[in-house]
Amino acid sequence: MKHKTFFWFFLPTALAMFLFIALPLTSIVSQSLHTPHDAGIWLLLNRVIHLVVNLKLLLIIRQVKKSTKSKPQGKWVGFQIYTDRNHLAFKEVGEFWESKTSFIDFVSSLNDLPFYRAMGFTLTYTFVVTPLVILFGFIIALAVNSLHRHLKGFMVFFSLLPMIVTPLVGSLILFWMIDARGIIGSGLQELFADPTLSLKASTGLTWITLIVYGVWHSAPFAFIVFYAGLQTVPQETIEAAMIDGATRFQQTIHVIVPHLSPLVAFVALIQLMDNFRVFEPIVGFSASAHATSLSWIIWNDIGQEIRLLSSAATTSVLTIIGVIILLMPVLIRTWREFNPEK
Amino acid sequence: MTSNQIKRPLGLQLLIYGFVLFWLILAAFPFLWTMWGSFKVELDFFSKGDWTNVFSGVRTQVVYGKSFTGAGYEGAWIQEEFWRAFFNTAIVCVSTVLISLTLATLGGYALSRSGFRYSFWLLIIALVFRALPPITLVSGYLQPFYDWNVWGTLPTTIIVLVAINQPFTLWMLHSFFQTIPKELDESAKVDGCTQFQAFRHVIIPVMWPGVITAGLFSFLLAYNDFAVTALLLSQENQTMVPKIASFMGTTQTEGNIMFAVAAVVSAIVPLFILVMFFQRQLVSGLTAGAVKG
**Whether pLDDT at A263 is above 50:** yes
Residue at a domain's end among B74, B90, B106: B74
Looking at the structure, tell me whether residues A106 and A124 fall in a common domain: no
Question: Do residues B158 and A20 lie in contact, with contact meaning Cβ atoms separated by under 8 Å?
Answer: no
Question: Do residues B72 and B257 lie in contact, with contact meaning Cβ atoms separated by under 8 Å?
Answer: no
**Whether pLDDT at B52 is above 70:** yes
**Whether pLDDT at B111 is above 80:** yes
Q: Which of A24, A60, A29 is nearest to A42 (CA)?
A: A24
CB-CB neighbors (< 8 A) of B271 in chain A: 161, 164-166
DSSP codes joined into one string, A24-89: HHHHHHHHHHEES---HHHHHHHHHHHHHHH--HHHHHHHHHHHHHHSPPPEE-TTHHHHSTTTT-
> Best mutation site among B106, B136, B283 for testing chain A: the one with the most A CBs within 10 Å?
B136
* Amino acid identity for residue A292 in this structure: T
Q: Do B131 and A327 touch (CB under 8 A)?
A: yes
Domain span including residue A52 = 3-76
Looking at the structure, tell me whether residues B206 and B154 fall in a common domain: yes
Percentage of residues in chain B with pLDDT exceeding 90? 41
Looking at the structure, tell me whether residues A52 and A87 fall in a common domain: no
Looking at the structure, tell me whether residues B18 and B122 fall in a common domain: no
**Whether pLDDT at A54 is above 60:** no
Residue B133, φ and ψ in degrees, nearest 5:
-65, 130
> pLDDT tens digits, residue range B197-214?
888 888 899 899 899 999
pLDDT of residue B252: 61
Residue A34, φ and ψ in degrees, nearest 5:
-120, 160
A7-16, B95-104, B107-116, range with greatest mean pLDDT? B95-104
A107-111, B69-73, B182-186, B239-243, range with greatest mean pLDDT? B239-243
Could you tell me which residue, B45 or B87, shows the higher pLDDT? B87
> pLDDT tens digits, residue range A284-294?
998 888 999 99
Q: Do A262 and B293 touch (CB under 8 A)?
A: yes
> pLDDT tens digits, residue range A154-165?
898 899 999 999
pLDDT of residue B292: 47
**Whether pLDDT at B162 is above 70:** yes
**Whether pLDDT at B265 is above 90:** yes
- Count: domains in chain A: 3
Could you tell me which residue, A306 or B95, shows the higher pLDDT? B95
Domain span including residue B89 = 81-292
pLDDT of residue B135: 92
Looking at the structure, tell me whether residues A52 and A184 fall in a common domain: no
pLDDT of residue A37: 45
B264 close contact with A: CB closer than 8 A: yes
pLDDT of residue A79: 83
Q: Is residue A311 part of a domain?
A: no
Q: Please give the mean pLDDT across all residues of chain A.
A: 84
CB-CB neighbors (< 8 A) of B123 in chain A: none
Q: Is residue A100 part of a domain?
A: yes
Looking at the structure, tell me whether residues A106 and A119 fall in a common domain: no
A216 close contact with B: CB closer than 8 A: yes
Looking at the structure, tell me whether residues B96 and B61 fall in a common domain: no
Q: Rounded to whole angstroms, how far apart are CA atoms A186 and A200?
A: 13
Q: Do A46 and B102 touch (CB under 8 A)?
A: no
Q: Do A42 and B143 touch (CB under 8 A)?
A: yes
Encode burial over A250-287: b for 16+ CB neighbours within 10 A, e otherwise: ebeeebbeebbeebbebbbbbbbbbbbbbbbbbbbbbb
Looking at the structure, tell me whether residues A33 and A133 fall in a common domain: no
A186, HSE (Cβ side, Cα atoms, 13 Å) = 13
- Count: domains in chain B: 2
A14 close contact with B: CB closer than 8 A: yes
**Whether pLDDT at A42 is above 60:** no
**Residue B93 to residues A157, B96, B137, B157, Cα–Cα distance (Å):** 23, 5, 20, 10
pLDDT of residue B46: 80
Q: Which of A120, A295, A204 is nearest to B136 (CA)?
A: A295
pLDDT of residue A43: 61
Closest in B5, B110, B127 to A6, CB measured: B110
Mean pLDDT of B255-284: 89
Looking at the structure, tell me whether residues B118 and B245 fall in a common domain: yes
Looking at the structure, tell me whether residues A135 and A157 fall in a common domain: yes
Closest in B110, B143, B271 to A1, CB measured: B110
Q: Do A13 and B166 touch (CB under 8 A)?
A: yes
Looking at the structure, tell me whether residues B188 and B285 fall in a common domain: yes
Q: Rounded to whole angstroms, how far apart are CA atoms A96 and A111?
A: 11
> pLDDT tens digits, residue range A197-222?
888 888 889 999 999 999 999 999 99
